[in-house]
Amino acid sequence: MENVIEVENLTHRYGKRVIYEDLNFTVPKEGIFGLLGKNGVGKTTLIKILMGFLRPVSGRCRVLGEDSHNLSPAARIRIGLLFEGHLAYEFMSIAQIERFYSSYYPAWDRDLYYGLVDRLDLPHHHLIKNMSCGQRSQVVLGLIFAQRPELMILDDYSMGLDAGYRRLFLEYLREYIKDGTKTVFVTSHIVQDLEKLVNEVIFLDRGGEIMQTSLDRFMSGFKQFSFKKADSKEMPQKDDIIRNVDNTGSVVSVYSFQSRETVESHLKKQGFDMATLDQVPMTLEDSFIGLTGKY
């Protein structure tokens, strides 16, 4: 099996609102893949479809070689799912929920669970319902790691986690994939976390427009250029060369996959003075906003 996730011609709507139209992508085995997109583009909806919780209008999705709407129990055991940070069985304690989950997963690693959860410095009889949102998220992540799944699907793992525990989680995640047999498919609103984590990024836009690329290729290929614009001059327009435009005071920023020379020539033809043109270094978060816009 070359791919752990395959999405073919996926179309889904909520009423008249199109979420995806003929969406296609694959996630190969091994590595960490980040799904990025603004609120409302359908990231959580996609995970619901992949796990068989929601049936699309049309198209086909396969996870671990099986149809997503007919996943066998054997396949589900191989998947570790964090779905919007939620945790059921809140009436259980730290120890009770570990014993409950362990009975379903043959590769269960009790030490890995407690290695994460004991950092809460809570007694094992402490009830889940009496925890903060962040503490519950830490228990959820401990349960997922203890499953030792082949495929981890994480829908916004950062919910409620403070900066220190987020960093600890990322360290565990890097260790988790070291043996070369594991795959992680992750969404997050904390884009800067993913910059040092993911191998590939999948950008999902409204209507199902998608771009999939390696992180290195995206960061080296997507550029921001800034220049000062005369007050009377209109803004540059988005086109095949200018992916996005932003304006702060008299400074205009344009975003492009083209070279400086191409962008400069293109803007000069539109009558803009390029004497102050400069390339601006970007983080992944800067690049994400430049690609998708601020709003």
For 155, the enclosing helix (H) or strand (E) is: strand 151-155
The domain locations on the chain are 3-217, 223-292
β-pairing verdict for 31-36 and 183-187 = parallel
Give the strands of the sheet with 210-214, arranged side by side.
Answer: 79-82, 151-155, 183-187, 31-36, 200-204, 210-214
Structure tokens at 201: 């990024």
The superfamily (CATH) of domain 3-217 is P-loop containing nucleotide triphosphate hydrolases (3.40.50.300)
Q: What is the pLDDT of residues 188-229, one digit of tens each?
A: 878 888 888 899 999 998 777 889 999 999 999 999 999 998
**Cα(135)–Cα(127) distance, rounded to whole angstroms?**
11
Instruction: Answer yes or no: pTM beyond 0.75.
Output: yes
Q: What is the pLDDT of residues 52-111, one digit of tens each?
A: 999 999 999 999 999 999 999 999 999 999 886 566 788 999 999 999 999 999 999 999
